[in-house]
Chain A
Amino acid sequence: MQQHILEIKNLSKSYGETVALANFSLDLGKGEVLGLLGPNGAGKTTLISILSGTLRDFTGSVTFKGQDLFADRGLKNLIGIVPQEMAFYEDLNATENLLFWGGLYAIPEKELKKRARELLALVELGARAREPVKKFSGGMKRRLNVAIGLIHRPELLLLDEPTVGIDVQAKMSILDIIRNVGREGTSVVFTTHQLSEVEQTCARIAIMDRGTILAQGTLAELIRIVGEKEVVEVSGEFSAAAFSAIIQQFDGNGMEVLSVTDNQAHLAFADPERIPAMMQHLFQRHLPIADLKIKSPNLEAVFLKMTGRSLRD
């Protein structure tokens, strides 16, 4: 087992009554790209804020390269952060932004300029480097946001929902960048509430909800949690209570109810032969069903199983 660059142990944090993190523990290997998947409100931003030292009053410990992260301010200089917000100056251009943020790290000017050019090429903004950032599209801004986090060659990059609010193409480009950064040996933790992103990008995936890790591993390992089951997604104009009442009367022969919400439910079948009977059962009881999808086992099913609710934008 490789040495861990980051070890988070039993991190807990509450805002009054709201528990944002509950005994959250996570390890990250050197050079590893970890996707932290969790729905809105799961506690992802809270975790990043604690790691960046801008949140107090938590319990638990964080070691970075074997040392207490909060004991030595200097350690933080080895970490790069990409906040959920566009944390840069819109009235400056991309180069000026990179030079400013890099300037805070006392990087020699010549080296800083070289690094800025390098990063602009990496995030494909070289041609637009002299334009005020406020003229950029959402995707370009997100890319700049990532580039700034990398200006001081951090050993660990933390990204908080780096793909929020941009189109599919721009997302692909950000995920590409993250993969590239990982290949160059930087460890990466990035949070998202989108399944497809972690599926495509990360060697290791952690699923979190309500402030704690529910499952982690490679994609294949996680899918094994659900097993070789077919997943059926039922949608229609029904309430969660009505669906639950009806499905309880059905003998599914190893059928598992993954999640039930108003208008949508997920069921896993070890025995796919039972699916038509289940449909008949629902129709006979006049459950208004609009759509029914059969899916092979995937991360979504794992997520549904772990959290009991589905994940949406």
Chain B
Amino acid sequence: MSRTTLIVRNDLRRRLRAPMATILFLVIPLAMTGVIGMVFNPGADNRTQLPPIRLLVVDNDKDLAAKFLLGAFDQKELKDMFQVTLTDTATGEALMRKGKASAMLVIPEHFSDDLADQKPTALEVVKNPSEEFLPGVAEEFAATMAVGFSALAQVFADELKVIKSVRNLSLEAVTIADMTPFLEMARAKIIALRSYLSPLLLTVSSSTTTRPGREARASGFNIFSYIFPGMLIMFLLFTIEPSLREIQNERADGKTRRMMFSPLSGLELVTARIFSGWLLGMAVCLLAMGAGTLIFGIDWVSYPLQLALVAAACLCCAALFAMLNAFFRNKNQAGAFASPIILVFSAFGGSLLPLEQLPAGMRWVGRFTINNWFITGCREIMDGRLPIAALLVLTVSGLFFAAVAMAVLPRRLSAG
């Protein structure tokens, strides 16, 4: 067995021997996610119940389709979600400026006619910039409605023709082929809000082309998947940090002197410590993610990508603390600085407050935190994207920190 393996094995054995701290760091993020999630989600299911979205609606159409759309907000589920106020453009804009609403939905003039004519038309959503998350939901909803209406317009093209002919308006030819790419792109959103829309779109889902595999995911927004990654990375920092602080403890109690007397080199010791911190972090993180799925039904979407992200994040954490311990003078300094650093990282990096709710300045600073990159990467994976930036930033800075630690620490270790 190599000396590095021996150190790693010894570190892990000792952490297992006194598992309470590690177990706590595994349980606390789950508990906190549960509590915070419950605040928004008193029901038993996983579908979010955010605070009602204050939505202003300006109806410039006042015709059939607009009435249909406004009617949708009267359905039970949407009633809980949106607090709708009908208004006109000027008043609506004034209210938005005062920040009295999350978003304003403008139904354009001739909306019903244009739909019937299969002419392109647009629902306009004005978002309140100070509330980034709730307006997002409104926008999503509007987009879905637009798709729904477009689909309706096609599915019920014959009926609309009848309406149209009754109104004696000229008919323009719009082919389904023109609409297909748009429909395809928006399909996931339709399915996501299917239960809201099903009375309206009963026949829609079967009439659109199906892309397999995505349906399972689009089962709704899960508040826990929104909160949990932030908690996870914060407690991952807490889990990994002691493994590296051990470097300082051992300097204080003569173990380092004893080690440096043996064939073990400082470089081997530093490498081993980074590796054992990384390994422990990986184990705890993967356990926590599994628990997140079991308890909160979180869908991590792509396990290989998440594994890569977790590996990069754990490397970055372990190497960061190795580097910091290369500059801390003694174990008291290491002890005094570790928790504040983790808490500052967590505050600026989106673990304590969601990234969207942080002021712009804090978000900017947050880009220098492991938390921010892990959370962003995690969300990207959940959105079905490749978290290239996050993987790159975490891996490259992890390797950089490790290099600094390996350059500085061995000399300091062999100097007592």
Residues on A lying within 8 angstroms of B by beta carbon are 49, 52-56, 73-74, 76-77, 79-81, 83-89, 91-92, 96, 100-101, 103-106, 132, 148-149, 152
Contacts and interface: CB of A to CB of B under 8 A. Distances in A.
Contacts of A49: 257, 416
Interface size class of B (residues with CB under 8 A): 20 to 34
A91 B17 CA distance: 7
B1 to A, nearest CB: 7
A81 B1 CA distance: 23
Contacts of A83: 254, 257-258
Contacts of A73: 263
A35 to B, nearest CB: 21
B10 interface: yes
A173 B261 CA distance: 26
The 5 closest A-B CB pairs, nearest first, are: A83-B254, A85-B254, A87-B254, A104-B262, A54-B416
Nearest to B17: A91
A13 B60 CA distance: 89
A54 B414 contact: yes
A53 B261 contact: yes
Nearest to B258: A87
Is chain A's interface secondary structure helix, strand, loop, or mixed overall? Answer: loop
Q: Of B10, B262, B415, which is in contact with the most chain A CB atoms at under 10 Å from its CB? A: B262
Nearest to A149: B258
A6 to B, nearest CB: 15
B256 interface: yes
Interface in B1-54: 1, 3, 6, 10, 13-14, 17-18
B393 interface: no
Interface in B252-291: 252-264
A148 B258 contact: yes
B331 to A, nearest CB: 12
A87 B416 CA distance: 13
A149 B414 CA distance: 18
A86 B253 contact: yes
Contacts of B414: 53-54
Contacts, number: 75
Contacts of A104: 3, 6, 259, 262-264
Contact of A100 (B6, B257, B263): B6
Contacts of B3: 103-104, 106
Report which residue of A84, A89, A152 has the largest number of chain B beta carbons within 10 angstroms of its beta carbon.
A89
B262 A88 contact: no
A152 B254 CA distance: 18
B116 to A, nearest CB: 77
B257 A52 contact: yes
Given A54-B416, A91-B14, A103 B1 contact: yes
Given A49-B416, A54-B416, A103-B3, A89 B14 contact: yes
Given A100-B6, A103-B3, A104-B6, A53 B260 contact: yes
Contact of A89 (B6, B10, B257, B415): B10
B254 A86 contact: yes
A79 B260 CA distance: 12
Interface in B396-416: 414-416
A101 to B, nearest CB: 7
Contacts of A53: 260-261, 414
